[in-house]
Amino acid sequence: MTAQLDASLDLSKGRALVNLSRAALVERAIKAGEGRLAANGALVCETGSRTGRSPADKFLADTPQIHDKIWWGPVNKPMDPAAFDRAVEIATDYLNALDEVHVFEGFAGAEVKHRLGVRVVSGMAWHALFAQTLFIRPGSSCDAGDGSWKHDWTILAAGRRELTLEEQAALGHNSPVLIAQSLDRRIVVILGTQYAGEIKKSIFYAMNYDMPEQGVFPMHCSCNVDRNDPSNVALFFGLSGTGKTTLSADPDRALVGDDEHGWGPGGIFNFEGGCYAKCIKLSREGEPQIWDAIRFGSVLENVVIDEVTREPDYDDGSLTENTRVTYPVTFIPGARIPSVCGHAKNVIFLTADAFGVLPPVSRLSPEQAMYYFINGYTSKLAGTEAGVTEPVPNFSPCFGGPFLPRPPGEYAQMLAERIREHGANVWLLNTGWTGGPYGVGHRFELKYTRRMVSEILSGDLVNAEYETDAFFGLSIPRAVEGVPCEVLSPQNTWADKQAYAEQAKKLAELFRKNAEKFEMSDEVRSAGPRS
């Protein structure tokens, strides 16, 4: 099918603008009216009606080659191969009708042994700039290889082309938006949405399918490493908005990557060449590295800028709460380039608890690590998906459920094997609410969360004194240097202790019900909430 696709796509020289420079893409995007420059030099673009991912419109071509390996259900919805072929034809016809198409050819995966060649074909210059930033450009400083390129995956980014009612009926779909993917044909079709995150996440989904067969554990996490101790590697698992990018952008540590990684026999490597950070409420004081990375060559999505001064207003969520910035990882001072490192010493699960009852930090036993990883509790935050306008409690297996083609148990087992082999410490960090649930309490202060992370990574928290939480059985440190002791135990932050107990019991019951979906040993199941 890939060969047939290459034949049907018109990628003739002069028409297909392949791997243009960053400056050329910015110039073309502005000339085409796709965006404008902010005062800080970033290209500012809007994504139209879709300002987040569209999971309800995502489908997977169901073929005999992959059928028995897939975790079928709400995440992986089957699509008839004939319908997928029709979607490819619609996108190809649209792209062929354009005078020019922008093409990016690069890699996903900083480790040469375990990378995939990616081709992104789009009618929009800013989408090509996004792809160039998020993936690895051959011959760049992020490319650990010899600069040559091989073709594995093709993304047809036809986001301006919406499905007609007639096409929707023919495809058995009821939306003008469609994200269709074939794992054996290695093709992605994006129709009806200009949200660039669909480009990024479709390849993460591909890596989540392909990497396990190469002995690599694919992870929805950020990663950094101590500048003076290459053995001190940390992973931060979590869904969008829980703090992966913020907490891994640490001036005292070298950033490996902010979102997607593989853990292979030789260590950990970034899947990407850039970062994709939420920037609602962004400030120089709170996140200086991200603030300084927003300059020429970066892309701001759905950020409102002043009409006169062109200054971005990061507090303005009128277009969406899911405002985003994309920038090369090289824009972070001292980032690890190429983005590879050793094995993890600390593994941190990030959860934004909308109930406000989980402790801000707790140490997990091996059994608890398995339990909390496979349940993947957090809250969907406003704007990350279409229709989500406020935090919604959510269980996302492996802290990345929307991107898992295979059953979650396979990924959980890979994590358990690596934790055991390399002796990693595992932690649960709540970056969500305290003092009450969403709407009553408030989010944990970032300065305290950063302090807890520092104590984890220094090794000091391993030797702390702990007490056991009555509802969840979690080990909570009695003291963390630089953090008020009263915030460490969540019930202490609630004025109404009975209300806290009711909310804790409610969340505990949700955990138990969700855990029923998965096969797990008695030891792992008993590591969950106590009451």
Residue from 28, 127, 186, 324 carrying the catalytic annotation: 324
Structure tokens at 475: 């080990």
324 is catalytic: yes
Residue from 154, 202, 245, 298 carrying the catalytic annotation: 245
* pLDDT band at residue 97 under the 50/70/90 scheme: very high
Residue from 201, 253, 261, 380 carrying the catalytic annotation: 201
How far is it, in rounded angstroms, from Cα 388 to Cα 382? 5
3-state secondary structure 370-403: HHHHHHCEEEECCCCECCCCCCEEEECHHHCHHH
227 is catalytic: no
Tell me what percent of the residues of the chain surpass a pLDDT of 70: 96
Residue from 114, 220, 336, 418 carrying the catalytic annotation: 220
Q: What is the pLDDT of residue 241?
A: 78
Asked if residues 384 and 391 have their Cβ atoms less than 8 Å apart, the reply is no
Residue from 226, 259, 353, 469 carrying the catalytic annotation: 259
Residue 297 to residues 43, 121, 144, 518, Cα–Cα distance (Å): 7, 20, 22, 44
Q: What is the pLDDT of residue 100?
A: 96
53 is catalytic: yes
489 is catalytic: no
How far is it, in rounded angstroms, from Cα 286 to Cα 443? 14
Q: At what angle do helices 408-422 and 366-375 cross, to 10 degrees?
A: 150
82 Cβ contact list (under 8 Å, min separation 6): none
201 is catalytic: yes
How far is it, in rounded angstroms, from Cα 102 to Cα 122? 5
Place of tokens 């089957």: 78
Give SS3 for 359.
coil
244 is catalytic: yes
Residue ranges and CATH numbers for the domains of the chain are 2-33+56-214 (3.40.449.10), 274-331 (2.170.8.10), 345-395+425-525 (3.90.228.20)
337-381: per-residue pLDDT in tens?
999 999 999 999 999 998 999 999 999 999 999 999 999 998 776
Residue from 244, 261, 363, 380 carrying the catalytic annotation: 244
Residue from 47, 193, 202, 240 carrying the catalytic annotation: 240
The model's pTM: 0.93
Residue from 53, 185, 343, 345 carrying the catalytic annotation: 53
How far is it, in rounded angstroms, from Cα 200 to Cα 420? 31
Q: Is the peptide bond before 81 cis (omega within 30 degrees of 0)?
A: no
* pLDDT band at residue 77 under the 50/70/90 scheme: very high
Mean pLDDT of the chain: 94
How far is it, in rounded angstroms, from Cα 343 to Cα 45? 38
